[in-house]
Amino acid sequence: MLPFVKLFICALFISVTVTIVFYRAHITARIYVAMSQSGLYRHSTDQPVACPPRTGNVSGDVRGKPSGYFGVRRMVEGRSENRTRKEIMCALKKQVPLSVMKLGDGPFSGDEWERSFPSKSLEETLGPLRSCAVVTSAGALLNSGLGPEIDSHDAVIRFNSATTTGYSQDVGNKTTIRLVNSKWNKFFRSPDYKTGTLIVWDPAPYSKNLTQWYKKPDFKFFKLYQQYRKLFPEQPFYILGPAFHWNLWDVIQDNSVPNIVPNPPSTGMQGIAVMMNLCEKVSVYEFLPSHRRTSLCHYYEKHHSWSCTVGSYHPMKFEKLLIGRINQGSDEDIAALGKVTLNGLSQEKCPEKCP
């Protein structure tokens, strides 16, 4: 009987040990998820940077539609969740410069387009900007009292039909830029439709190639754009180039080990990238949720869905993790205000030459 008792005790010991190990791993995973969802997970920023991370050619110049919904082939090389803030910032600076379409790009030439595209660049129109605010449309902004702080910035970007009317105490009044998606014609129902500089982006550009993008079947965006420009020729109206979306997607995937959804980044993430290109310092409100986190999608509507926070179409979970890693503000700012503080890309000194 003694050998069997020893065998039983040994098996019991192994079983208990394995259970403890898996339990600790489970708890650790839950803590990580909780911190990630609250935006409080950040990596150390003390390590030096030699070169920005490199990404492979995700699918060449044209993404097509043969593989996945947008044909995004997951070929990004050297994925890592452990890069420093400096490395991520330098990757954004190198790979995601602000790009808007202009006369002469691809098929956009001739008299009809000469009358449509603004004559000045976006940077010339706005001038130098020191402090900028990115104001999401999150329902958590209700009762935040952040309006005066938001309006204190040199420039403010808002999204789609997010109105300030009736909500100025929480979201402010100033609108310098309004970033809208391909359903932007719905935006003109808003009383704020003439406010600020407009940037339009297509949330589903299936190609980096402008000619192929323009020829996309059933896509009438460009005709609508020309019609609007005839109505309001003095209002600056820019279109983000399709490469901007996918270059940003590449950086997000390069800093995420799991395969992320092969759909373009969210409007909010693109707005952050735009302002990081234009401003010296950027404050982002309720992209990483505060203690006011709610299922209310937009502060100016009554629609409820948690997918608005965690994302279902866009890779928002990975976007939020990335922003949390480059945040220079405090965890307390995130929890209390839903506020992230970022350096503008112009403020980062990065290696000039890399292998």
For 305-342, the pLDDT digits (tens) are 876 776 667 889 999 999 999 999 999 999 999 999 99
Looking at residue 145, what is its pLDDT? 96
Looking at residue 210, what is its pLDDT? 67
Looking at residue 241, what is its pLDDT? 85
Looking at residue 60, what is its pLDDT? 35
User: What is the per-residue pLDDT across 193-241, written as a single tens digit (0 to 9) for each?
Assistant: 666 788 877 655 666 666 666 666 555 777 778 888 888 888 888 988 8
Looking at every residue in the chain, the average pLDDT score rounds to: 77
User: What is the per-residue pLDDT across 100-155, written as a single tens digit (0 to 9) for each?
Assistant: 888 888 788 888 788 888 888 899 999 999 999 999 999 999 999 999 999 999 99
Tokens of 181: 């998606």
Looking at residue 183, what is its pLDDT? 67
Looking at residue 65, what is its pLDDT? 36
Angle at 246 between CA 240 and CA 247, to 5 degrees: 90
127: alpha, beta or left? (left if phi > 0; alpha if psi -120 to 50): left
Looking at residue 189, what is its pLDDT? 63
172: alpha, beta or left? (left if phi > 0; alpha if psi -120 to 50): left
Domain residue extents for the chain: 39-347
Rounded to an integer, what distance in angstroms lies between the CA atom of residue 251 and that of residue 327?
16
> What is the homologous superfamily of the domain 39-347 according to CATH?
Glycosyl transferase family 29 (3.90.1480.20)
Rounded to an integer, what distance in angstroms lies between the CA atom of residue 129 and that of residue 290?
27
Looking at residue 279, what is its pLDDT? 98
Looking at residue 15, what is its pLDDT? 55
Rounded (10°) angle between helices 267-278 and 316-326: 30
Looking at residue 11, what is its pLDDT? 56
Helix (H) or strand (E) holding 239: strand 237-239
The percent of residues above 90 in pLDDT, for the chain, comes to 40
Looking at residue 176, what is its pLDDT? 95
Q: Which has more confidence, 178 or 355?
A: 178
Rounded to an integer, what distance in angstroms lies between the CA atom of residue 51 and that of residue 87?
7
Is-above-0.85 flag for pTM?
no
Residue 21 clears pLDDT 80, i.e. is over it: no
